Amino acid sequence: MFDFSGRVALVTGAAGNLGRAVAVAFHLAGARTVLVDRDATRLQQVFPDLEGSRDHLLVEGVDLTAPGALDGIVTQAVELFGRLDILVNAVGGFRAGTPVHETPLETWDMLLDLNLRTSLVAARAVIPTMLRQRYGKIVTVAARAAGAGAANMAAYSAAKAAVVRLTESMAAELKGSGINVNCVLPGTLDTAQNRQERPGADHSTWVAPEAVADVVLFLASGAARAVVGASVPVFGLS
C-alpha cells in the first residue's frame, strides 16, 4: 500500500502489541527501522530475523520516562542510516477502575509518565534532526478516551488528552519546517490480553493493531502531506 524505501522509521514500544504491528508494517513497506523498547530481551524475541541486520537497529532496555533517553539512539541511527524520517511513539499504559478521589497520586504520575512524558521525551530527541533535514513525520498514540472524560478513568483520559494537546502544539510549531505531527486515537485493541481480561465482550467490534498501523503508515506517508495536527479516530465497530 505504501512505499517507504529510503526512509528511516523509529518506533518506540516496538515489542508491544501496537508497536510490533507498526514496526512490521514499516518493515514490509521497505523502511529501515530503529526499534526501541523498555524490556531488556523482548525485541530479540519478537524480531529475531532483524537482529544484526544492517537495515534495522534494535535497542532494548530504554526507559523513555528518563530525560534524554533517546538522544544517543537518534545520534546512532543518523550515523548508521544518514537520516531519521519518522517517529512513532507507541509507548503507553492503561489503568482505570477507581473514582478520582480514590485514585492514588502514584497512578496519576504513572499514567502521565507512560503516555505524555514518553511522547515528549521521544519528540524532543528527534525534532532537531528533522529540523536540519527539513523533513519529518511524527505520530503520537492517544486513545478514544482522550475525547471525553468517563467515570472511573479520569487519570487515563487526562493523560491521553494531554498527548493530543501536545500533538497539536508541536504541529503548530513545526508545520512550516517540513515536519508533520499527527495523532491516532485507537479504540479497544483486539489483543490476547484484552480478550483474557474481557472474555464476555464483543471482540468483533474491537480494533486489530494492524488496522491502527495502517493509519499510522498513512500519516507517515506523503499522502498525508497536508494533514497537520489531526487526531484520527480508529474505533473499529465500537
What pLDDT shows up at residue 238?
83
* Count of positions (residues) in the chain: 238
With cell 532496555, the residue in question is 61
Q: What's the CA gap between 106 and 207, in Å, rounded?
A: 30
- Inter-residue contact 86 to 31 (CB < 8 Å): yes
- 119: Cβ contacts below 8 Å, ≥ 6 apart: 89, 91, 140, 141, 163, 166, 167
- Inter-residue contact 196 to 150 (CB < 8 Å): no
What pLDDT shows up at residue 52?
87
168-200 confidence digits (pLDDT tens): 999 999 999 999 999 999 999 999 999 999 999
What pLDDT shows up at residue 135?
98
- 226: Cβ contacts below 8 Å, ≥ 6 apart: none
What pLDDT shows up at residue 51?
85
The CATH code of domain 8-231 reads 3.40.50.720
Q: What one-character DSSP code corresponds to residue 57?
A: E
Q: What one-character DSSP code corresponds to residue 10?
A: E
What pLDDT shows up at residue 2?
95
Which of helix, strand or coil describes residue 229? coil
Q: What's the CA gap between 123 and 90, in Å, rounded?
A: 12
Burial letters 34-73, b for 16+ CB under 10 A, else e = bbbbbbeebbbebbeebeeeeebbbbbebebbeeebbeeb
pTM of the model: 0.97
Label residue 134 left, alpha or beta by phi (over 0 means left) and psi (-120 to 50 means alpha).
left
**pLDDT per 10-residue tile (average), the chain, 238 residues:** 96 97 98 97 94 93 96 97 98 95 97 98 98 98 96 97 98 97 96 93 95 98 98 94
50-71 confidence digits (pLDDT tens): 988 999 999 999 999 999 999 9
